[in-house]
Amino acid sequence: MSLTSTATHLVTLAEGAEGGGRHQSLEPIVTGAGALAVLLLLLWITTRFNRDR
């Protein structure tokens, strides 16, 4: 099995060629807002534990 045929097989598998259907993806704005919220929460937690005493 050559590298080219393996790559072709993996791409076909990743595309879901067997079912042929496409799934609905999340909205980019929802994904970005969720990521921003998580990062701000982590920043807030980090600053809470890093206070000078």
pLDDT (0 to 100) of residue 12 = 77
The identity of residue 25, as a single letter, is: S
Query: What is the CB-side half-sphere exposure of residue 25 using CA atoms within 13 A?
Result: 5
Q: Is the pTM of this model over 0.75?
A: no
The percent of residues above 70 in pLDDT, for the chain, comes to 72
User: Does the structure show a pLDDT above 90 at 40?
Assistant: yes
CA 28 → CA 25, 32, 34, distances in Å?
9, 6, 10
* Model confidence pLDDT, tens digit, residues 24-39: 777 888 889 999 999 9
Sign, Cα dihedral of 38, 41, 45, 51 = positive
Mean pLDDT of 4-30: 72
Question: At 42, is the pLDDT very low, low, confident or very high (cuts 50, 70, 90)?
Answer: very high
Cα separations in angstroms, 40 against 31, 34, 37: 14, 10, 5
